Amino acid sequence: MPNAAVLVASVRALKWHGGTPRRALETPDPAAVRAGADNLVHHVKAVSSFGVPVVVAINQFGSDSPEEIQEVQRIASDAGALAAVECTGFAQGGEGGTALAEAVTGAVADQ
């Protein structure tokens, strides 16, 4: 049994799942994030049902607003994730993954 699981999500993907047109994905819209949350909620609950702690890595894009990031964090937490952290590893290399590494380490240590 794994000690923890990381699910990767992005504001853009949640908005896309909620029906936001491609050309509007960069326009801040927390309501659109909520509209596309069902997939993330389902996966967090599915993994959690096996007793595996879940950490959500929010793959951050430059167009993501703080309100949208907070909405993803709230959705993930309400679904049962232990943490939902911004991940900027693509843009910042290893330094951009530090928060994710710390969240996973914390999830494993809490067992």
pLDDT in tens, 17-75: 999 999 999 999 999 999 999 999 999 999 999 999 999 999 999 999 999 999 999 99
Let me know: does 55 contact 81? Beta carbons within 8 Å.
Answer: yes
Query: pTM value?
Result: 0.94
Q: Which pLDDT score, from 0 to 100, does residue 90 have?
A: 84
Confidence of residue 110 (pLDDT cuts 50, 70, 90): confident
Whether the per-residue pLDDT at 111 is higher than 80: the answer is no
Instruction: Check residue 91 and give its pLDDT.
Output: 87
User: What is the token pair recorded at 58?
Assistant: 């929010």
Question: Does residue 1 register a pLDDT over 90?
Answer: no
Our CA dihedral for 82, 84, 88, 93, rounded to 10 degrees, sits at 0
Q: Looking at residue 26, what is its pLDDT?
A: 95
